[in-house]
């Protein structure tokens, strides 16, 4: 994956996330396409690439969110690091692992995002609400990650062969 | 496996985390708010373009599905319904005012304010802060703190503004608080934001009981919002002997997920 298509993909994902995705919310949670794509990049391209694109995608989300720049990028970085740790220690060919990794990454992302807001003295929602939204988003993202992973692997195979 | 032989990029991770924390702390400072607003404004055109694409796609699919007329009728009826609901609430409130101190009140009622119409071009990136982004900013007279409404009623408040865009904290945001009153009983309280439903803590008064179906309007207490803007309808009321306040679940007159056009009230200086 070269830089320009990846950057365009990340820009597209971030823009879709802040325009279309909220329209398909379930119980207040909606898919985090940037997180899903960062998970896929980490899974297919490695932890280093995942971290760099997590930073870029997170900053794009920060541009659409109220408050300072950085919390979304920080939350995605931690999620990508955990996903990278996962992919290094399991057989990455199994379909269940990326699904679980996306769910875990979403939970960690939510916790870090709320924690960062708290650290920066920004208002944070009640813990029960955070838990509810995080669980719903984790389910949403884990459903999305598999088809996107399959598409990414197919594209990679076509590019290689 | 190539991946397994790579060096663990913990150093890169820690460096990027430190950089993002530093960026967050720096961009939070008041002296950096201008640069932050400009940076956020740079992303607004992409959101605007995506929203336009979405509208075009919606129109195309509606034509192919022969649903365009039905969709337009539905939207028109929904708008009429929202407007009628607002009028009912305002008429009820006006009746109460007549009974009480209407002649003594000397303030400009809601919708007598100067407004700037804005299109919703984006929404918050996660469910934790339910915000919307609009295509009007400081160059259009929009400033942080200004109150935002729709044809149906109160939407929220401008939180940040860049030259050509602004972020509005909606009432669905769990952090939002608005002073409101019940139209029929005059009971006052605090409306608390929530993703699913708004909640209201009502200060009880002897001889008056809140009831489902009553309308909640802004009371103007605290000076944060002008008096008389429709907030919500009471869906249910709960009483607890041990509690000093009554609790009501409200149905907000707006839906943050489907808002498309809002009005920014530019001549009300909330505190």
How does pLDDT run across B145-189, given as a tens digit for each residue?
Answer: 999 998 888 999 999 999 999 999 999 887 788 999 998 888 899
- In angstroms, the CA A39 to CA A62 distance is 18
* Inter-chain CB proximity B169 and A66 less than 8 Å: yes
- In angstroms, the CA A21 to CA A16 distance is 6
* Inter-chain CB proximity A28 and B133 less than 8 Å: no
Query: How would you classify residue B27: left for phi > 0, otherwise alpha for psi between -120 and 50, otherwise beta?
Result: alpha
Bridge-based pairing of strands B188-192 and B230-238 is: unpaired
pLDDT higher for A116 or B89? A116
Q: What is the model's pTM? A: 0.79
* Side-chain-facing half-sphere of B180: CA atoms under 13 Å: 32
Q: B265 forms bridges with which residues in the sheet? A: B115, B147
Q: End-to-end alpha-carbon separation of chain B, Å?
A: 61
- In angstroms, the CA B171 to CA B192 distance is 8
Tens of pLDDT, residues B181-238 = 998 888 899 999 876 788 898 887 777 778 888 899 998 888 888 888 899 999 988 8
Burial (CB < 10 A; 0-12, 13-18, 19+), residue B115, is middle
pLDDT for residue B129: 76
Give the closest-approach CA distance of A146 to chain B in angstroms: 20
pLDDT for residue B258: 79
A25's CB contacts (< 8 A; 6+ apart) are B127, B257
B contacts of A92 (beta carbons < 8 Å): 3
Per-residue pLDDT at B110 exceeds 50: no
Assembly ipTM: 0.91
A contacts of B127 (beta carbons < 8 Å): 25, 28-30, 133, 136-137
């Amino acid at each position: 994956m070269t830089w320009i298509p990846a950057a365009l993909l990340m820009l597209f994902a971030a823009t879709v996330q802040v325009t279309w995705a909220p329209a398909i919310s379930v119980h207040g949670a909606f898919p985090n396409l940037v997180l899903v794509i960062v998970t896929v990049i980490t899974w297919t391209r490695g932890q280093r690439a995942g971290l760099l694109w997590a930073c870029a995608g997170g900053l794009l989300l920060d541009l659409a969110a109220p408050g300072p720049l950085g919390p979304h990028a920080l939350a995605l970085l931690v999620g990508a690091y955990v996903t990278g740790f996962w992919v290094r220690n399991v057989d990455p060919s199994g379909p269940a692992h990326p699904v679980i990794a996306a769910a875990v990454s979403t939970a960690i992302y939510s916790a870090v995002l709320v924690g960062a807001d708290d650290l920066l003295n920004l208002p944070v929602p009640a813990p029960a609400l955070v838990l509810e939204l995080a669980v719903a988003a984790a389910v949403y993202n884990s459903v999305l990650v598999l088809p996107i992973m399959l598409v990414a692997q197919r594209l990679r195979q076509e590019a290689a062969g | 496996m190539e991946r397994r032989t790579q060096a663990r990029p913990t150093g890169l991770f820690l460096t990027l985390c430190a950089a993002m924390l530093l960026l967050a702390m720096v961009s939070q400072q008041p002296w950096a708010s201008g640069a932050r607003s400009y940076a956020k404004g740079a992303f607004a055109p992409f959101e605007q373009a995506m929203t336009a694409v979405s509208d075009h796609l919606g129109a195309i699919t509606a034509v192919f599905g022969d649903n365009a007329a039905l969709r337009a009728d539905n939207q028109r009826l929904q708008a009429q319904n929202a407007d009628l609901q607002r009028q009912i609430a305002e008429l009820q409130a006006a009746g109460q005012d007549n009974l009480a101190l209407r002649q003594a009140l000397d303030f400009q009622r809601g919708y007598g304010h100067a407004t700037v119409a804005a299109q919703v071009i984006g929404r918050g990136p996660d469910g934790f802060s339910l915000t919307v982004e609009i295509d009007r900013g400081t160059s259009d007279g929009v400033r942080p703190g200004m109150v935002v409404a729709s044809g149906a009623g109160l939407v929220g408040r401008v939180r940040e503004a860049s030259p050509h865009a602004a972020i509005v904290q909606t009432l669905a945001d769990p952090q939002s608080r608005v002073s409101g009153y019940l139209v029929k009983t005059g009971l006052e309280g605090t409306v608390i934001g929530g993703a699913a439903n708004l909640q209201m803590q009502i200060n009880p008064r002897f001889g008056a009981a809140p009831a489902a179906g009553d309308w909640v309007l802004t009371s103007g207490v605290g000076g944060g919002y002008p008096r008389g803007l429709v907030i919500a309808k009471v869906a249910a009321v709960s009483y607890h002997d041990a509690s000093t306040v009554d609790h009501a679940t409200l149905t907000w007159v707006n839906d943050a997920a489907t808002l498309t056009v809002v009005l920014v009230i530019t001549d009300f200086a909330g505190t």
